[in-house]
Amino acid sequence: MRAIQVKEYVKGPGDLTVTTVPDPTPSPDTYLIAIHATATNFFDLLQIRGKYQHQPPLPWISGAEFAGIVLATPSSKTLPKFKKGDRVFGSSQGGYATQVCAREESLMPVPPGWGFLEAAGLMVTAPTSYAALVNRADIRRGDYVLIHAAAGGVGLAAVQVAKAFGATVIATAGSSRKLVVVREFGADHAIDYNKEGWAEEVKKLTPQGRGVDIVFDPVGMVNTSLKCTAWGGRIVIIGFTSGNIEKVAMNRVLLKNISLVGLHWGTYPKEQPKTVEQVWEGLFRLMKEGKFKGTVYTDREFRGLEQVGEALSMLGRRETWGKVVVSVPQGPENKL
C-alpha cells in the first residue's frame, strides 16, 4: 500500500514523503479498512517532530482519522458490528495511508447521506464538542455560549451543538474569512479576538450585560474570558492551542461562583464507555434531524497522500477553517 511512513522525526510537514510499504495485516480483533479520505489534526504536527505525549516506536505511519470501506472483518468475531463493504469512519494510528487496521470500538458507521470527506473528520471533533457542552457544561435552552476559535474543527462542531440545544452563540475567530464561516454555521454573533476590548463587546451582547453562561475554550483564554462570564457561569477547558497553559486568577473564579471544568475526550472510552455511547447517540440524532453537518474546509481541495504535507502546513499556519481533509484515491485492489 501507499503511506506516509515516519522513519525519523522531521522538522515539519514539508519533509513528509509518500512511500510504498507492505499492506497491514489485521490482528484477530481488528478490521482492515480501505481509506477513501483522511483528516488532519494539530497533534499530527507535533507527532511527526517527536513532540507529542504519545509517540509510536519508529518507524510508524502518520495520521489518525479516516473514512473508508471495510475490506476484512476481525477473525475472532462471529458477529462483527460491521461487514465487508460497509462504509465507516474512525480513528487509529496510520491514517495517512491507503489502508489501515482499526478496532471495532474505534469505528462508526458513515451517517446516511454523508460522504467520506465529511465523515473523515468526525471522530475527534464532534464528540469532544458535544461532551464538553452537554455532559460537562450542562448546556440549557436560553444559555449564552462563548465559543473561542469557533472556526476550527471543534469550534464549528460546538457552534452547531450549542444552537441545536437552543443557546445563543457568540463566536470568536481571528480573521474576516473565519468570522464569515462561523456565521454560516449558525453563530448569532462573531467577534475578532485579536481586537482589543473583545471581552467587553461580548458582555454587551448578553442580557443586561451580565456575561455568558458558558465559555468553550480550546485555546487557553480563561483569564480574559473571566471578564465576560456571568455569575455562576461554566468554563470548559478543551485544550491549549495557543501553546500557553495559563495561571488562572482564582480569586475571580471564587467571587463570581464560576465552575472550571476540563474535557479530555480521549480518556472516556476507558473511564466512562457508556458516556461514549450516549454522546454518539446524541450526535447521530442531531445529524438525522439536520442540525449537525460536516465541517470540511472547502476553500481548497486536497487530493492524494502527496498533498497531506501541504494540508498540514496550512493547518499549522492557521490558514484554514473547520477540518482539513484529504481525499485518498484507491487502486482497483481496494475497490469493492
E strand or H helix that includes residue 155: helix 153-164
Is the CB of residue 206 less than 8 Å from the CB of residue 146? no
**pLDDT at position 332:** 58
For residues 48 and 147, what is the distance between their CA atoms, to the nearest angstrom?
29
Contact 138, 110 (CB under 8 A): no
* DSSP string for residues in 215-277: EEESSS-HHHHGGGEEEEEEEEE---TTS------HHHHHHTT-EEEE--GGGHHHH-HHHHH
Residue 63 is predicted with a pLDDT of: 97
Neighbours of 282 (CB within 10 A): 20
pLDDT at position 145 is 98
Task: Check residue 52 and give its pLDDT.
Answer: 83
In this predicted model, what pLDDT tens digit does every residue of 66-109 receive, in sequence order? 999 999 999 999 999 999 999 999 999 999 999 999 999 999 99
Distance of CA 68 to the CA centre of its chain: 18
Question: Angle at the Cα of 90 (from 85 to 91), degrees rounded to 5?
Answer: 135
Q: Which residues are bridge partners to 152 per DSSP? A: 322
Distance between CA atoms of residues 151 and 161, nearest Å: 14
In the prediction, which pLDDT does 336 show?
Answer: 52
Q: What is the pLDDT along the chain (336 residues), one digit of tens a residue?
A: 999 999 999 999 999 999 999 999 999 999 999 999 999 998 899 999 998 878 899 999 999 999 999 999 999 999 999 999 999 999 999 999 999 999 999 999 999 999 999 999 999 999 999 999 999 999 999 999 999 999 999 999 999 999 999 999 999 999 999 999 999 999 999 999 999 999 999 999 999 999 999 999 999 999 999 999 999 999 999 988 777 788 998 999 999 999 999 999 989 999 999 999 999 999 999 999 999 999 999 999 999 999 999 999 999 999 999 999 999 998 754 555
pLDDT at 30: 97
